[in-house]
Every structure is written in C-alpha cells, then in structure tokens.
Amino acid sequence: MTTSLRNIITRHNPITLLDSSFGPVTLAHVHQIHAQLLVHGHLNHPLLFVQFLAAVALLSPSNTTPSSPQHHERQLLLLYSQRLLDYSPHPPTTFVLNSLIRAHSRGPDPAPAFRFYRRLLCSPDALSPDRFTFTFLVGSCGRGGPSSAAGVIAHAAALRRGFVSNPHVHSALIRMYAQFGLLDAARRVYDELPDPDLVSRTAMLGALAAAGDIVLARELFDSMPRRDPIAWNAMIAGYSQVGRSREALELFSSMQLEGVRVSVATLVSVLTACAHLGALDQGKWVHAYMQRNRLRVTVTLGTALVDMYSKCGDVGRGMDVFWRMQEKNVYTWSTAMSGLAMHGAGKECLDLFELMKEHGVLPTGVTFVSVLRGCSVAGLVEEGRRHFDSMRDQYGIDPWHEHYGCMVDLYGRAGRLDDAVHFINSMPIEPHAGAWGALLNACRIYRNIELGEYAMKKMVEMESKNHGAYVLLSNIYAESRNWGGVNDVRESMKAKGVRKEPGCSVIEVGGEVHEFFVGDNSHPRYREIEVMLREISRRLRLAGYAAKTNAVMFDIEEEEKEDAVCWHSEKLAIAFGLIASGEGASIRIVKNLRVCWDCHDATKLISKVFQRDIVVRDRNRFHHFRDGMCSCTDYW
C-alpha cells in the first residue's frame, strides 16, 4: 500500500476512506483498507466498525447488467459486507441492517432485503425498524419483478408499525405501485394524505409521468406550490418518453429561466427529446453546457450524447464522443453501431462490432439488432446470416421478433424474395407483423404484386388497423397503374376505419423547431415558402427533372399528380430551410414516414442546384444529399 493511502487511513474514518472521490473502489481496495484498519485498531470501536461495514455495502454499484464486470464486482462487495456482519465482534445495529437493506434495494432481487429485515426483527437486542427501514424495503420491492406480493407485505408491515404517514415511506409506496403498473393503487396511497408535501407530490407526479398519463401529470405539476429539481426532471422525462419532445424542450427552457439546478437525469431526457426531433442545435447546446460546467460524461450521459448526434444527422460528432468516452458499456457500443447503420455505414458498423468483441464486451440482443441492420443497409446477406446464426450458437441469445424482421429485410432489400419467404416459413415462432411488413416493403421495391398482396393479407390479420400495410400495397398498385386495386384498398381502409398517418417533417432553424404536414399552409411564412416552392420547381425543370408520379394513389391528370407530390411535407421543410437558414448552411429534416421516390430524387437535385447539403431522417434511415448524390446510393 502506498504511503499516501496509509496517511489517509490514519487521518480519516472508514466512510471517508471508501468515498468514490478517491476513485473507483474495488474489493481489492477494501481488503487493503480492512487490513490497515485492523492493524491500527480502528475496528475495535463499535461505531467505526458499523460505519465501515455500511460503507462497504453501499459501495456496490446499482443498475448493473448480470453479464457485466460491474455486476460481478457488486456481488462480491455485497457478499463481503455480509461476511463482515456474520463475523462481527459487535452486535448489529439498525443502521447496519438498514444499510444492507438499502444496498439490496438498488438491485433487481428484493429477497435479501427482506432477509435482513427479518434479521432486524429477530435481533437479540430487540432492534426496531425505523422510517429508513421501510423506505429502503419498499424501494427494493419496486425492482423485484412483476409480482407485487412482496410490495403488499412491505406496505402492510409499514402500516402495522405506523410508518405509512412518513412522507419518504409514502413516496416509496407510490413509486413502488407505479413500477408495478398499478397506477390506481399508487393514486389511492397518494389520496390518503390530506395535505401531501413536496416529496409525495413529486413521487405521484413521477408515477403518472412514467405511466404515460402525461396530461394528469402536467396538471399536478402546474398545481404544485413549489417544485424541486426531481419534479422538473420527472415532467421532462415523461414528455420525452411519450414522444412529446417539443413540450420536453419547452419545459427545459422554463426550468432554466427559473434557475432550477440541472442534473444528469435532466440532460439525458433533454438529449432524448433532441434525438427524437432531430434538434441538433439544441443538442449541441446541451453538450456545450456539459463542457462549460465540467460535468463528468457518465456512461448513461455519454451514450445519450452518441444517440443524439447520430439521430440528428451528425454521426461523425457522435463517434467522436464515443471514442473520447473513458467508460463504455455494451449499450454504448450498440448505440454507436446503430448510429452507423442508420447512416448507411454498414461496414463500419460491423468493424465496430469486431472491435467491441476484442475489448471483451459481450453482445446482447440489442447489439445484434444494430449488427443485422448494418448488414441490411450494406447488402451483406451472407454475413448477416452468419451473425444471426451466431446469436444462439455462440452467445446463447434467442432471437427476438426484431432480429427475424431484420433478416427478412436483409433478404428482401437484396431482391431475394424467395429466400425471404422461406425464412419466414421456417421461423420457429409465429411470424409477426414486422416480418410481413419487411417482405411487403421488398415487394414494393421490386413491384411484386402477387407476393405483396399475400404479405399484406398476413400483416392485416395480425394488425387490422396497420395503415402502413394498406399504404404499401396501394403504392404497389399505383406504381403499376392498377387503379382498381388502389380503389379496393381505399374502400377496405374506409370500411375498417383505418386512416393513413399524415406525412410530417420537422426542421430546426436557429434553435427553433418547425413542423410541416403534407399540404400544410399554416406556417407564418407560408407565402415565402410557396414562392420558394415555385422557384425550386422552376430550377429543377431547367435541370431536366421530371416528377415521379407513379406512387400518387389517384387516377388524375399528370399535372395534378405533380402538384400533389410538390406539397409533400419534406419539400415544404426544404423550402423553408432554403429561405430561413444562412447561405450554404446544411438543412436537416426528420420525417415520420418513409421518403417517397419522387422526393428522394428531387432532393438529390435540389442539393446540387442550390448547393446545399441536405440530411433527411425518415422512418427507416438517414439520407445525406450532396451535389446531386445520396449516401444510400439508392439502396433503400
């Protein structure tokens, strides 16, 4: 042991010794510190021994995955703290047992927490549980899996001993029932308080937001006489989780105006909202805020940054964050691979996968979704099949529905429709809508009407109101000028009450997010947009462009079809970007649907004629348009 460590030991108590500010503390460090404490006789004092034992128990990191080295280290530290208790020369105290209950409350299994609770009740010194006991015990139940039986037992014990009225126990009960999906039970617990305090209000707000009841959560948030940072975080996270990203960013702006302390949890939610909207400028601001305030880039925060940059179209900067991260987990690697695949860099995605394995990081099912998507965008069919087979053969991972869907997409994009059908028929599980949807999309690409009809029928059997299936088949009919087929699909949609999701494109200019729907004329600068659309049309015609109107699902005159495709949401967003952004600035757009062939070809030419880089994220992937070319090389 170093001299500096000995000096620390002689001057500080065990809690200070095990403080993480000295760096990550492992079991080996604990052994050294334990030995020095014994040598110096510090552990003869009951209070110091209790502090040391509690500190070791609470060192174990939370939220670890079972296969990770951190999880193994956590188990070793917990086991060591329990052995310290078993061989203790001093009788256990409520504080020590509470510390062990708390340590186990942060893990996925509540059973050990209850074991130490029983030990507390049966102690020879007649120890009594306190409010901390039940706060931690109830907290452990919320992470204990789908069964709520343990939670009911903990609730009853707290009620019997008179601790339910304690605000911290009360809040833990609300969170516990919410984590079990029992929102009515959480609400009943909340309603028992005649005058809920800030802690209980915040817990109820978090429960509502996490359950997706965002309207009621906002009502409670607005009615709170005082809000702490946790309440703001819960509300922002709630908006982000349900896809109401604009409200999440607006609330974040209000949070800053009120001078509320911003935490790592807040920034993760805000980055998630930026990623959903494609709000790169606001995402960059968050990154700059982190650097300005010298916030440590944790694994969670760093992974959110990589995801944000990738989904906002700047995969290069996302990878720069990735390479600079000192600590990465499997989700960080998987996120980076997903970003590369999303941008069409399939080979780079697979190279990163090999590097991840060289670093000793074991892949998960999430990783293989990214890997198979990387194979799909690069057209690497045989390599994709090899990785798919390795999931079970090499890593013992049973494929999910997403993996099967990726394989169908891989075969379908490559034009191997017979192989795609054979793969579906040989699946060991019932083919899901995603697999049939991938086949239907391939039928649209290769204009296979007969197989498309079959895939659509299978898809609708599972999801009768899946508008995407109807639209894809309508496109197949329209491109073949089969207007009778188009009409039949439209009538079927009407009869079943299926409505096509309207196209929507989002563009960020000057840190402000603008939203456009197909045929939208509601924007304050609509007249300028209309003028720019005419100018775009004029310049494209001069460059020899002719609109692709095959997919217009109406039997109308050609001029009307050209007018129809002119008002697609991404063209409106591009027109706005041309008039609202600086000369030569890149235009970045996020669309909720797949880009149509006409918009894809038109955007390629717009990038050349107007000398602008245009980045479009559609439902499937990114398209980087520059000088008349697209990064997808028309393989999409």
Successive 10-residue mean pLDDT values, the chain, 636 residues:
42 49 64 79 77 76 53 74 81 86 75 85 84 87 62 86 85 84 86 82 87 90 90 92 91 91 91 91 92 90 96 94 94 96 93 95 95 93 96 94 94 93 93 89 86 85 75 75 78 76 87 86 92 92 73 40 64 94 90 85 92 90 90 75
Helix (H) or strand (E) holding 598: helix 597-609
Helix, strand or coil for residue 127? coil
pLDDT of residue 270: 94
Question: What span, in angstroms and rounded, lies between the C-alpha atoms of 502 and 592?
Answer: 9
In the chain, the amino acid numbered 423 is F
In the chain, the amino acid numbered 356 is M
pLDDT of residue 510: 83
In the chain, the amino acid numbered 526 is Y
pLDDT of residue 322: 97
pLDDT of residue 60: 58
Burial 80-103 (b: 16+ CB within 10 A, else e): bbbebbeeeebebbbebbbbbbbb
What are the strands of the beta sheet with 587-591, ordered from one edge? 512-517, 504-509, 587-591, 614-617, 622-626, 629-630
Neighbour tally for 285: CB within 10 Å: 15
pLDDT of residue 548: 58
Helix, strand or coil for residue 515? strand
Q: What is the full DSSP assignment across 435-491?
A: HHHHHHHHHHHHT-HHHHHHHHHHHHHH-TT-HHHHHHHHHHHHHTT-HHHHHHHHH
Neighbour tally for 484: CB within 10 Å: 9
